[in-house]
Structures are given as C-alpha cells and as structure tokens.
A and B are shown apart, each in its own frame.
Chain A
Amino acid sequence: MLELRYYETAAGRSEPAEYISRLPERTRAHVLADIEAYRLYGAKAPISWKPISGSRPMMEIRVGSQRVYCVVQVNVLWVLQVGPKAHQSRDIAKATVRMKLVRGQRTQ
C-alpha cells in the first residue's frame, strides 16, 4: 500500500487538503474514498482515473465534477491539487509545478 501525502507549501499551507475540507460531505467522502482506492489497488483500482498526457507521470482521478491530480513517487502517492473540472487547465499547471518539486526531492 502506498503512503499518502497532500502537497504542502513551505508556509505550511496545503491547498489540496484545504479544498477537500471545503467540499460538501458526500463529495468529500467520495474524493477521499477514491484516493484511498488508488492507494490500495493502484492502477487496478475500480475508479475513474487516467494519466495526463504532457504531464506524465501525473494522473487525474475523476470524482464526479471534481478532479484530483496526483503522482506516485518512491512509494508515496502525492496529492498535488484538487479542483473542479472547470478549472482543469489552471489546476494542471499548478500540479505540474508541484510534481517537479516532489520528483526533485531527495529521498532517504
């Protein structure tokens, strides 16, 4: 099972976690459950997900009209950004910058 981390800025703010916390209960529960499913079953998870072309290995988990952008790096599933489908391009741009930081991180 993958470790799970929500991206956090140097100032200690986690935009994806804050966004999820503001979602209505049902949507929030579905987003959390789908992230957990990917964490548990990986690519075989029974959820709607796809790699983002042009920003690989970043992927997008689709939960209704919400999109979760994440990447797996050294056994850790990083949630980089979460947002509505309407803000997809803005959110992908943010997530791509964060993915580079995550992937550039020295581990162990």
Chain B
Amino acid sequence: MSKKKKARGIDGDAFLAAQLSDPRVRHHFEQRRIVHEVAVAVRGMRLGAGLTQAQLATRIGTSQPTIARLEKGLDVRTPRWDTLQRIARALGRQLKLKFAAPSDDDELVEVEQPFRLHRKKGAAATAAAASRTHRSGGSVRRA
C-alpha cells in the first residue's frame, strides 16, 4: 500500500529572526524594507490622488520611468530625502523624520490618511476618503 508523502517545512519567522541576528544582514534588510515600503506608499498616495506616474513626475520635475522604478522597488538604494520631500509636496503632504525605539513589528514608512492600492474613481474617491478620515478624527496608520 502506497503511503502519501507529506511536505515539511521550517518556520520562516524563526529562520528570519536567526538571520537578522547578524547586524550587517539586518542593516541591508532594513534598507531594502524601506525601498519596499516607500514604493507601496508612493503608489498608494499617487493612485489616491488620481494621478498617473507621468503627472506625478511632471509635478516633481522628473521622468515617468523614475517614478515607475521607485514604485516597483527596482532601485537598490533607498530614495533620496529630497526626492521624497518633492513627492510629498506634490501630493499635498509633509515629509517627517522620526527617531523611534527599535521594533520589528512597526512599519518604517507611515502614511497618514488611508489610501487604496487600486484606482477608484480618481480624485472624487480620494476627497470622499479624506472627508471620512477628517470626520473620524485625524490620522490613521496604513493597514
């Protein structure tokens, strides 16, 4: 009688924690994590504002492929402060720097006011979302 083989696996969280105990690995890991979180945040805010990549690029004086690369997390280096500041201004926000106590659970990039990853009727949906946020009383962390 044939016996069905069962797949086994080692726990990803434990493996990651062991790897990140090396400070140099942790440093590079966090650099990469910032690139990912910035990418998701910029894309979300841009779509929330009903802008195309080309429109955002024009507003901050850069090219559409630059925005595309940033949103796809293709750049190895973390984006420059100046670039992020221009993006924030173009999207009606302010860039802030925060020195916080270390924690693996917290996101490194925080966006105030909720936004959607999918385009949803452009600026009208954004205005409605902003209005809802205002009514519910202030800033909300990205879920």
- Which residues of A pack against B, CB within 8 Å? 3-10, 12, 14, 17, 20-21, 25-26, 28-30, 32-37, 39, 41, 44-48, 76-79, 98, 101-102, 104-106
A-B contact count (CB 8 A): 102
Determine the chain B residues whose CB is within 8 A of the CB of A77 once the complex forms. 12
Any chain A CB within 8 A of the CB of B73? yes
- Which residues of B pack against A, CB within 8 Å? 4-13, 15-16, 19-20, 22, 24-29, 31-33, 35-36, 39-40, 43, 71-74, 117
Sample of 10 A–B contacts (CB below 8 Å): A3-B12, A8-B9, A17-B10, A29-B25, A29-B27, A29-B32, A32-B19, A32-B29, A44-B117, A48-B74
Contact B36–A46 (Cβ < 8 Å): yes
Contact A78–B7 (Cβ < 8 Å): yes
Contacts A33-B33, A41-B40, A47-B36: A8 and B10 contacting too (C-beta < 8 A)?
yes
Decide if the interface of chain B is mainly helix, strand, loop or mixed: helix
- Tell me the complex Cα distance, A41–B28, Å: 20
Contact B12–A104 (Cβ < 8 Å): no
